[in-house]
Structure 1
Amino acid sequence: MSDLRTEKNHAIHEINNRLFFRLFQVANTLHTKGSQAVEQFGMTTQRWSVLGALSRPNVTGGMSIGDLSRFLLMSRQNLTGLLSRLERDGLIERVTSEDDRRSRTVKLSAQGEVLWQQLQDPIHNFYDEALKGLSFDDRVAFIHYFTKLQNNMSKL
């Protein structure tokens, strides 16, 4: 019985290793190939993610840096540098919050909104190619399992 348990544990450890290594590879490929899909616009996947987060209809008035940091699961330190570069390039604005004059929110600038619209075709083409061969249900399952994984990892 002990040998079977040891074999099973070994198999579980091996599949866990393969799963996380593959996740690491996918993330690296996303940064490389995703950036290539939008590089003609001076975008990286990090810049793309910020613009995407700020383009959502429910945040047209902007987001606090803390909320944006939590939404993107990015450290405030990394986000602050990225926001500074986006602001320098005229793609975002930092504005005083209407709710609390002591805090500031980040929102897309008019130039950022135009760029976001220009990015839609290349981004959708990238998604279509990257997800080729996966059904709608497969994609929904991916979201489900990635959400479970992210929730479990956030509790560590």
Structure 2
Amino acid sequence: MLLIPKIRFTFFGLTLICCLVFSQTKASASPIRVLFLGHESEHHNSNEYYPMLAQALGRDAIYFDYVTSVNRALDDATYLNQFDALLLYANHPRLSSTQWKNLLSFVRSGKGFVPVHCASWCFSNIPEYDQLVGGRFKSHQGNPCLVREL
């Protein structure tokens, strides 16, 4: 793995931490729980990054659960709502209407959604997802990213 992607991913992880930590009140002693939705692919290898984040942030009471299945992460709103944030670093092409409803409800309730890098490509069957993440990859193919403006 190249050093630059690891540094980039670490930057996104630290950004997540800052957002979550500063959103908590100082009086709150509750740990922060993050659901990390990755995938099994070695391209955008979430399996490699999950343990790095879990180890580094666990010391600060930011705990990660890791899943690679959209069904596991988003089918059950009760399961999803156990978490303070959802971090998405994966290539998942589709989302069911129930999963979209659960994700949108999660975000609208004030929970965190952290779509990292390739997450902007996900869920192409849900046009409204573009608005949630702020854009979508137009192409990538190993070159600098080209984005479609909204």
Q: State the TM-score, normalizing by the size of structure 2.
A: 0.30
More helix by share: 1
More strand by share: 2
Q: State the TM-score, normalizing by the size of structure 1.
A: 0.29
Rg larger in 1 or in 2?
1
